[in-house]
Amino acid sequence: MPLKSLLAAALMASAGLAQAQPYPPPAPPDENAHFGWADVLRVDPVYDVARASPPHQECYDEQVTTADNNHTGGTVLGAIVGGALGNQVGKGNGRAAATIAGAVAGGAIGNRVSAANDRTYTDTETHCRMVSDYPPRRRITAYDVEYRYRGEVYVSRLDYDPGERLRVRVSVTPAE
DSSP code string of 61-79: EEEEEEEE---HHHHHHHH
If asked whether residues 111 and 86 sit together in one domain, one would say: yes
Given a cut of 70, is residue 1 above it in pLDDT?
no
> Are 165 and 102 in a shared domain?
no
pLDDT at residue 157 is higher than 90: yes
Instruction: Give yes or no: residues 126 and 64 share one domain.
Output: yes
| Contacts of 44 by beta carbon, 8 Å cutoff, 6+ apart | 143, 144, 145
Q: What is the DSSP secondary-structure string of 114-159?
A: HHHT-EEEEEEEEEEEEE-SSPPEEEEEEEEEEEEETTEEEEEEES
Q: Are residues 148 and 126 in the same domain?
A: no
With CA atoms as reference, report the closest residue to 15 among 7, 5, 3: 7
Q: Mind listing the pLDDT tens digit for each residue in 3-45?
A: 555 445 554 554 444 444 444 455 456 778 889 999 999 999 9
Could you tell me the residue range of the domain that residue 111 belongs to?
A: 56-131
Are residue 62 and residue 37 in the same domain, yes or no? no
**Do 115 and 143 fall into the same domain?**
no
Type of residue found at 162: P
**Angle 169-171-172 (CA atoms, 0-180°, nearest 5)?**
155
**Span 116-156, pLDDT tens digits:** 666 677 888 888 888 876 777 788 999 999 999 999 999 99
149 and 126 in a common domain: no
152 and 114, same structural domain? no
Structural domains in the chain (count)? 2
**Rounded CA separation 155/175 (Å):** 22
Q: Do residues 61 and 41 both lie within one domain?
A: no
In the sheet with 152-158, reading across from the earlier edge strand, the strands are 152-158, 137-149, 33-50, 165-171
> Of 114, 131, 148, which residue sits at a domain end?
131
125 and 147: one domain?
A: no
The predicted-structure confidence for 85-127, as pLDDT tens digits, reads as follows: 666 776 666 766 666 666 777 777 777 776 666 667 788 888 8
Domain membership flag for residue 45 = yes
Does 150 lie in the same domain as 123?
Answer: no
**111 with 80, same domain?**
yes
- Considering the domain boundaries, does residue 12 fall inside one? no
Average pLDDT value over all residues in the chain: 75
- pLDDT score at 19: 44
CA distance 166 to 32: 20
Q: So what's the pLDDT on residue 21? A: 41
